[in-house]
Amino acid sequence: MKAAAVYEPKPIESSPLKLIELDVPIPNRGEILVRVLACGVCRTDLHVSEGDLPPRHPRIVPGHEVVGVVERCGPQANRFKPGERVGIAWLRETCGVCLYCRRGSENLCPHARFTGYDHDGGYAEYAVVREDFAYHLPQQLGIEESAPLLCAGIIGYRALKRAGVKPNTTVGLYGFGGSAHISLQVARYWGCNVFVMTRGGKHREHAKELGADWVGTAQERPPRLLDSAILYAPAGNLVLPALEALDQGGILAVAGIYLSPIPPLDYERHLFHEKELRSVTANTRADGEEFLELAAKIPIRTTTIAFGLDQANQALQMLKHDELKGAGVLRIG
């Protein structure tokens, strides 16, 4: 099978992903073999390709927004049938027995393993996954438009929860890409006023098209103080203006797996009056199931730009330089 793999992480401009041939993986007990139709291009794939996330293997196939069909079921795998459309996301497996797993916080499991980082992901024609970590996908959503839902959407949904977003409140989104353009639709569905802080012209236009109530830069003060905010850009310097824009008791959630250093905080300006700064660490499967059900109900409409598997470096480079309007998706099947 064809796959795009990283052997040596380095700047995406030097094309670290190489197109190679691999054997089609064989599903073990409780696993399914998925024929990949499409795979979303996520900023975490960029961090894997450039080495912001330290390599765990000599070679890895990135990709964790995988949409495909079940090709074959391994022994004792009976949750899905061959030909059924499924999704594979970032969280690939947990131990199921630690304190965090037992209390419903499997996203914090110290033994968790991740698609496209610990195990080969969806930048390939086939992928395997434990059937209990695969997702049923809403059939009314298209193949390519479903791909960003599996990370950008799920993580964005958990970020909304971590930021304490409630219906009819005021929400600020810092950075506007694949995840934020989905979160905006959820927040609007909940009746929230949504202010978007982004620097790119394409992103500003896109936010307005999707119903943002105000669009500006991170350095501008939004029209009113925020009840909740989410930082999607991997820029630690944006933590300060985001905290400063919060109302008393407001919450800022940082949604990225990687963040550049945060400058020193001024307690009075940034944290006093019971403001909170929270991180977002992966997601639970319950988050994924809740979000996918909600996505079909709204329904969420993702904006995607298609690339071939041999254009994976180009897609990630455009993502890095904020040149994508919405989310990039590799067409594979």
CATH number assigned to the domain comprising residue 115: 3.90.180.10
Residue that wins the pLDDT comparison between 59 and 177: 59
- 93 with 27, same domain: the answer is yes
Mean pLDDT value across residues 293-309: 95
- 247 with 305, same domain: the answer is no
Q: Cβ–Cβ contacts within 10 Å for residue 295, how many?
A: 25
Q: What whole-number percentage of the chain has pLDDT above 90?
A: 93
How does the average pLDDT of the chain come out, rounded? 96
The three-point CA angle 73-75-76 to 5° equals 95
- 140 with 177, same domain: the answer is no
- 325 with 273, same domain: the answer is no
Structure token digits, residue 92: 């690939």
**pLDDT value of position 322:** 85
- 134 with 172, same domain: the answer is no
Mean pLDDT value across residues 94-110: 98
Does pLDDT of 324 surpass 90?
A: no
Q: For the ranges 93-102, 122-131, 140-149, 200-209, which has the lowest average pLDDT?
A: 200-209
- 53 with 68, same domain: the answer is yes
**pLDDT value of position 197:** 97
Domain of residue 163, residue span: 154-279
**pLDDT value of position 38:** 98
Does pLDDT of 325 surpass 80?
A: yes
Does pLDDT of 203 surpass 90?
A: no
Does pLDDT of 200 surpass 80?
A: no
- 147 with 166, same domain: the answer is no
CATH code at 177? 3.40.50.720
Q: Give how many domains the chain has, as a whole number.
A: 2
**pLDDT value of position 333:** 81
Q: For the ranges 217-221, 251-255, 271-275, which has the lowest average pLDDT?
A: 217-221
Query: Which letter, b or e, does each residue of 88-113 get, where b requires 16 or more Cβ atoms within 10 Å of its Cβ?
Result: bbbbbbbeeebebbeeeebbebeebb
- 90 with 133, same domain: the answer is yes
- 82 with 107, same domain: the answer is yes
Q: d(Cα 143, Cα 130) in Å, to the nearest integer?
A: 21
Mean pLDDT value across residues 273-283: 97
- 89 with 133, same domain: the answer is yes
| Strand positions, DSSP E, the chain | 2-6, 17-21, 31-41, 66-73, 85-88, 91-93, 113-114, 126-130, 134-136, 170-174, 193-197, 214-216, 226-231, 246-254, 276-279, 304-308, 327-331
Does pLDDT of 103 surpass 90?
A: yes
- 206 with 234, same domain: the answer is yes
- 300 with 324, same domain: the answer is yes
**pLDDT value of position 139:** 82
Pick from 180, 219, 221: nearest CA to 202: 180
